[in-house]
Amino acid sequence: MSTNHFSSTFTQARKRFKNAAHAAGATISSYQIDVESEQELAIDVAILGEEGAPTILISSGVHGVEGFFGSAVQCALLNQLNQVSARSNVRYVMIHSVNPFGFSQLRRFNEDNVDLNRNFLSNADHYNSAPDGYASLNGFLNPESPPSKFEPFKLKALWTIWRNGLQALKQSVAGGQYQYPKGLFFGGNRPCKSTRVIYDNCDAWIGSSEKIIHIDLHSGLGDYASYKLFLAEGAESKNLGWYTDAFGADCVEPLDQPEGTAYKATGPFGEWMQKHFTSREYRFVAAEFGTYDVIRVLGAIRAENRAHHYSDKTSSAYKNAKAELLECFCPSDASWRRQVTESGLKIIFQATQALGNLE
């Protein structure tokens, strides 16, 4: 398995995705995200296979910079599907780069500083408030100044974890907040442009398929080069057995798992999709591929956010913060890239096999 599906810019990734989709015979639709930018920013959707056939839906780049990894898996898959025998009676819908601004700017958040995985709220009244605990951490998470090399972030983070517990910290920090527009994990005040593209077009993309397995590709959480599949339903769900049969019990994590790797986010993409397609057999996994430890990753997200809001774009502080964020969500290590591409394709293959058991 080659690692050459990894691009070095958003524009390159977009071009390669569209070329691979075209070569595989997919239809491609593009949705411009109207934001001032040097590059054209768009979500591209490639669809392959018969209308109405059981569907594998693969989305990438909800968290911008994570799209380097997600795009690579999508391109690797398209190259495989190029060989007709690999297709079978399955429809593939690939959403490339849900957050093109973040992807192009090496950000996890979008043009409105929004974490899109906190923006899919079914009730507009819920775009307010922040979890208990976020206010007291705001000063630590979101200093109103450029990042500094000399700040003892790691010590501060360890102290905060020691006082709160890692799980409580993950929950209150990363669960989503709607009160601090320049802060980390801000969920927005209304549905963002990308969110509206999904709202307006997902019915057309899915068509009349009755069986859908959605794999949303993420990176930056968990052990290096390994993965977990986070569900949008709890351990009590009648579907749990289907997930563990399909993907293996050791990598499947239902919602609300005590001491789990994840935290409960508000307004996630997958939960909204699952509710929207509730009358169909719709299964969702957020596939999270690990990179570095939580403190390093949180430090990178925090430094990049400070650089984005308070640094000169030509400064070395800005460039270093971007480079570290990219490394934290898409390590340059060839072995990481090879392993995650192989695992990504394996999960998609397992999902394709498991479509037959969906009922």
Judged by the rule CB under 5 A, the positions of this chain that interact with Zn ion are 63, 66, 218
Helix (H, G, I), strand (E, B) or coil at 218: strand
- Cα separation of 263 and 244, whole Å? 20
Nearer to Zn ion, 55 or 219 (CB): 219
Q: Which residue is nearest to Zn ion (CB)?
A: 218
Cβ burial, residue 291 (10 Å; 0-12/13-18/19+): buried
Strand segments, DSSP code E, in 146-242 are 211-224, 227-234
Burial 325-336 (b: 16+ CB within 10 A, else e): bbbbbbbeeeeb
Q: How far is the CB of 119 from Zn ion (least distance, A)?
A: 13
Nearer to Zn ion, 96 or 218 (CB): 218
Nearer to Zn ion, 230 or 282 (CB): 230
Q: How far is the CB of 216 from Zn ion (least distance, A)?
A: 8
Q: How far is the CB of 63 from Zn ion (least distance, A)?
A: 4
Q: What are phi and psi of 283, to 5 degrees?
A: -120, 145
Residue 144's CB is within 10 A of a number of other CB atoms, namely 9
Nearer to Zn ion, 92 or 329 (CB): 329
Q: Are 177 and 130 in contact (CB under 8 A)?
A: yes
Q: How far is the CB of 293 from Zn ion (least distance, A)?
A: 16
Nearer to Zn ion, 31 or 69 (CB): 69
Q: Are 275 and 233 in contact (CB under 8 A)?
A: no
Q: How far is the CB of 25 from Zn ion (least distance, A)?
A: 30
Nearer to Zn ion, 209 or 341 (CB): 341
- Cα separation of 306 and 294, whole Å? 18
| H/E segment holding residue 340 | helix 334-354
Q: How far is the CB of 66 from Zn ion (least distance, A)?
A: 5
| H/E segment holding residue 71 | helix 67-81
Nearer to Zn ion, 54 or 176 (CB): 176
Q: How far is the CB of 189 from Zn ion (least distance, A)?
A: 21
Q: What are phi and psi of 263, to 5 degrees?
A: -140, 165
